[in-house]
Chains A and B, each alone.
Chain A
Amino acid sequence: MNSFETQKFDETDRSGQETGASDQKPAPESGSSAQSSRDLGTHRIEQKAERSHSRGKGHLSSGHQLQGRYQIMEVLGFGGMSAVYKAQDLRFPKVVRVCVVKEMLNTATDPEVRAMIRRNFEREANILATLSHPGIVQVYDYFSESDRSYLVIEYVDGQDLEVLLNRTEGFLSEEKVVDWAIQTCEVLSYLHSHEPHPIVFRDIKPSNIMLDSHERIRVVDFGIARLFQSGKKGTMIGTEGYSPPEQYRGVAEPRVDIYALGATMHHLLSKQDPRLEPPFSFHERPIHETNPTVSRELVEVIDRALAYDVNKRYGSAEEMERALLNLKSAQRGRSRATTSLGVSQSTQGGNVMALWRFACEDEVRSKPTLSDGMLYVTAYDSNLYALRAEDGEFMWKYPTEGGIGSSPCISEGRVFFGSSDQILYAVNAKSGRIAWTCPTEGGIWSSPKAAFGHVFFGSDDQRLYAVNAQSGRVAWTFDADGKVRSSPAVGDEAIYVGCDAGIVYAIDTGGQAHWRFRARRAVTSSPAITKDMLFVGCQDWHVYCLDIRSGWSAWRYRTDGPIVSSPTVKKDMVFIGSSDKNVYALDTDSGRVIWRFATEGQVASSPAASDRAIYVGSTDGTIYSLNIRTGEVRWRFQTEGPVTSSAIVHGDVVYVGSDDHYVYALPA
């Protein structure tokens, strides 16, 4: 595993911006307290700490000679314990032969430890000097002078992939990334088959891969500097972002390099720096989310390299190389068909057959209500229908003077429903005989709610009405700031409703506003409430979660279109549709998206929930049944018109209307 200094060093190594003096990092607390002190694994903050304290002891200055042979030309970069110089090899006096000299500081105070670090350095340098591969930077020489050790390596005229990535506008091409990865696999194969022991690189990342002017890569920095940080846990950086989980258990086997190469490719293609993300979170951040142009086949290769379980990765660098080569030839064969993947389609659910259907004379946009084996449905043909729930047999209907878009409610043997003819009706649920009517001064599009022996509903006359359920007498009215088409939600202490002026009200049982919340556009969506929260959609594209006591917004979630659908709360999730065509499942506590399902049309229908499923219609004409946990399609049912009606679930049956004039009973 790499330690802080190594990474620090690498960052400044090739940036070419750092000049000036370096110094050691301030000494960490010593002893046991150093171990219990906390580290920030995020490299940036360490980098700043480094800069702010890196003044004092000097680097080797230009002209300085080492071993009478290497003359320093300039500082390429430095870190806390090391520095990199560009130097000239004086052994070749007639030509300018440039090399890189890497200097490492041996800070151990115990003479035995110092000697051990030096021996380890010389052993590893010896191994590196014997490596010979076109993709590996050549080590020419090594030596130690007093408290410093030096490695002399080949100078590569080029830039590393991290610098290249940062300088690239848009995305790097898939072909190039695949090509570099293939070359890196070749280097890894060479290292992993080293005798007598495989060499595990342990630190594959974009900044350790240099690209020369001929598009050839060179793997640089064998992390030899890590030898100089023994026992310095207090300053150790934890997450490189590219290392696999098992590396943190001290495992160093060839497949850690496979993971790191996968991580490197993920970074190069997605442009998401893994050092700034939670560790090992590649699977939670699919490449397609930021860069949809990458082929699905390549994503599969990278995913396999990034498997947590080491046994699920490619078994060797050769195997990964073969997969990449196959990909390349397959893509050439197809003359590079760019597969653009959007939101992946959920598993196709099958279709269901209706148990029965009943034809009204116009569109059914409301939500049916079921009580005592009877289904009550309102339609734009101005009727309230009473059907036998079992088979859809017509029982009776009650005609009004206008189309009906709101839904009925039932309490104590009466059906209450409002009509665009401005009247609220109460009829006997069994016989359909009228009990009373309550005229208002505007069309009624708000669905009534019965509670406390009263019926609450809104009207286009900008009022919310509280009407005695027995007598039909108006107990009070509340003057809103706009038409009240939202349906009220009744809680223990207040009634909650929205209006077209974009205000959500909490109205106490005396008809006075307790609080009001101002959104940016009309609120025709009807609030859903829990013990302490209120959820509502708004035509300003947001779903709002409000504290029911104060009206303060706890969170809001922005969809990509106006919302007229009303939320449903179940199992700590809020379900709501948007005219952006999606159905959303949001976490009630945080507002985070749990899943999202894309239909082909606007979703004005309000989702209905059972224990396992969500039922919702779309203007694409389909009624969808979705898995409540995952949003996957369980089944779909196609009607002949847009579905703005909302479903109800009762036992094993779902009841829902459509603009094709039918009411359907479907198997849940």
Chain B
Amino acid sequence: MLKVIFIYIFLFLISSDILAQCFSSPGNPIGGTANLGSVEKKLLRISAFHKYSLSDYYLEGHKNSDFILYDCADMNFIGSIIAYGLTDKFTLETELGYFINKTIYYDKRLVLPEYKSKGNGFSNSVISAKYSLYFNPDKRIKYTLSAGVKIPFSTEPQYVNNALLPMDVQPSTGTYGTVIQSYLLKENSLKGMRYFLINRVEINTENKQEYQFGNVFITSLFVSKHLHFRWQWLTENWTAILQVRHEYRTKSKNRDIEVGSSGSNLLYLSPQLNYTIKEKWNVSVIADIPLYQYYYGTQLANKFAIGFNLTRDILFK
């Protein structure tokens, strides 16, 4: 049962991390590697997901801005995550992502040669090692640490029609980075509730264009509950999860000078519904709703995001 809940949360985290991206403080979706840390020995976990995100208004600090440049921006991202438990405590994980599109649409009130800039292609990949530091089966507590390296698909920036794409729509950060995560799980079997606290830090380095994306600090609190209603035949395979996530991004730097309109302080609410098919497949739908957004300078703010996940666990004996 615990395993199934892990999968639920895993799916949820994948989604929320992908959606953590906004166009005003770009780069790539943050990881997707944030699952619950270690998986059991000889367990192969494969996940595929798709995300759509839309941003369509400017914020200056936390107030609306009348600035016009982008009318809106959206992106479609697909990715996969593969994790394998080398031992019961030690897990290796890889992530690969691809932007189907990462597009900004310029405001038609401006007189411009074109009204769209679109990038696509492979994002960064992440390879991480996770180690379960503490597990108390009586108290149902587990704590896991993870360290990984972010590897860009390409260190060269993308051009379209021989014009350099804006940083906002580059599919890859074009540079290496470090990802540190911790996972704390507490389970209450009597109530059928689980609580998760997850921290993630992402350190970015400078790319060839001498641009350094800001570092990212994320704290997520999850509450999950297996659904039990009167009509058990209807609800037995369903799990509801609610996440509150805080994201803090430091300002990006360009040639060692801080980029004025970069960096943010965001709070999201992310409800998710999960369905298990024959205890083998997990299908999940998630929404990302901004509760509070504060952007340094003036930046395009995220309106909403939705996602779909599919995960399968395979245990090798």
Partners in one complex: no
